[in-house]
Amino acid sequence: MTKTAWIFPGQGSQATGMGVDLQSLPIAQTKFEQAERILGWSVLDLCQTELEKLSRTLYTQPCLYVVEAILADLMLERGHQPDLVAGHSLGEYVALYAARVFDFEAGLSLVKRRAELMDSASQGVMAALMGFDRAQLEALIDQIDGVVLANDNDLNQVVISGTSEAVEAVLSRIKAKRIVPLKVSGAFHSPLMEEAAAEFQQILEAVPFKFAKVPVLSNVEPKPAIEANVLKARLIQQMTGSVRWREISVQLAQEKVERVVEVGPGKVLTGLMKRAAPGVALSNISGFNDLPA
């Protein structure tokens, strides 16, 4: 049997029209109806609106969770099973759902509140860097207070997060092929999210977690785990902790994973995997036509 991992993308992978091709399927209809009751608005409608609105954190995160969860359920319904799961930032919630750590509605309720808290964050900024000297960047982050490595995607692609002054200080001193300021409301995955994270922790701790049916690699600790208390503790740290995706990619290769399936819109994560673990077979399940028989 081929050892397979399912990986779930996060904010940034959203696309207008995602999930629309699933709406006639019974599983999807049920999930879209459940989501509307929880959210108070239609995921299908939002996914067909202009990208600017869909890309607002308040809407992006619940929409991605719902669409990716439906795709995961359809995969499971067709008899496909992962050996491990992982998700990038918001995608970790879908990974936990796919591993049956919590049910769909509990997960969406968490994602809804997470999105609200992150959307209302007003401190700090984020910027993506591609093609840079890693040692120089790490030295600058060590020297400058108020900035952290928020997303360690691969050796040549990262996101930094922090106060506007600290981020600008790093960007003014680093040489990079490309620098992209991110259109986000605050400094996600940094200490500036501590107030929001503290409020979210109270909500998270009240939600019962089950042992995972398959091991989950978490953003803040990219080692496989199934224990409910461990997975919850890792998720509590996620809002202020770094997304260690580069290490997740390496760990999947070390776990002898032979095939990685990105479940969700786009090919961001398989693109990163291609560079980090070139010998692994990659595929994408972005919509109905990608579903295996």
- Active-site annotation, residues: 89, 189
Pairing mode, strands 176-181 and 125-132: antiparallel
Q: For residue 86, what are the β-bridge partners?
A: 7, 217
Strands (E), the chain: 4-8, 84-87, 125-132, 147-154, 157-162, 176-181, 216-217, 259-263, 281-285
Largest CA distance in the chain: 54
Pairing mode, strands 84-87 and 4-8: parallel
Give me the residue label for tokens 């953003």: 219
CA–CA separation, 135 and 48 (whole Å):
43
CA–CA separation, 247 and 155 (whole Å):
10
Structure tokens at 222: 């990219």
DSSP characters for 126-180? EEEEEEE-HHHHHHHHHHSTTEEEEEEEETTEEEEEE-HHHHHHHHHH--EEEEE
